[in-house]
Amino acid sequence: MRESRVIALAGVFQACSQVRAIANEGRGENAAIESSLASLFRIDSDSAADVFGGLSGVRTGMEVLIENLDSSERNVAVSQLAVGVLRLERKLSGRKNMLRQISEGIESIQRQVDHLGVAHATVQGRLAELYSQTLSNLSPRIVVHGNPTNLADPRRVEQIRSLLLAGIRAAVLWRQMGGSQWRLLVRRKEYAMLARGLLARCTLDRG
């Protein structure tokens, strides 16, 4: 269960790190983005790792998680974004109608994913629209800072919103696995150690 919590939390940090990369640099890591977005459509997975298509699907998230929990190179902006996502998920958990709206929306987008793939602009545009119609109406809203040129680009904004939706999905998984902000606060070192072990296992699997 503890490893499942770390995987879910890494999913949150992975989505947030890619949001920051797109906002600042105009692009993120394609593999990490696709794994995060694909997690939206794996609702009944057997394990936390399966939600991301295996441990390798959340490799970037584990690296970012380690940096932010147990390193002097902590990315404050990514950490703040992750905390914002976790808080927004807590707000969402009490909104049954909105949860149903999101679930039905993802189900309807699944058909396009089957035909076009999760990386397709049309799919990401619909995920972004679903985020705008639901989660963006909760307060406090998540505010993404970055390069104004990138944040004025409709395609990048769609990617950012679709990734925030994926971050919320990972936050739902984190809570389902018993995660809480208090638990994160008191177990930072433990989670960083577990993430290192999972990252090593991921590297061995790839080798």
pLDDT digit string (tens) for 166-197? 999 999 999 998 877 777 777 888 888 889 99
Residues making up the chain, counted from first to last? 207
On whether the CB atoms of residues 177 and 6 are closer than 8 A, the answer is no
pLDDT digit string (tens) for 66-122? 998 876 677 788 999 999 999 999 999 889 999 999 999 999 999 999 999 999 999
* Domain extent at residue 169: 2-206
pLDDT at position 207 is 41
pTM of the entire structure?
0.94
pLDDT at position 116 is 93
On whether the CB atoms of residues 8 and 48 are closer than 8 A, the answer is yes
pLDDT at position 92 is 93
CATH number at residue 168: 1.10.3890.10
User: How far out from the chain centre does Cα 32 lie?
Assistant: 10
- Domains in the chain: how many in total? 1
pLDDT digit string (tens) for 35-68? 999 999 998 888 999 999 999 999 999 999 999 8
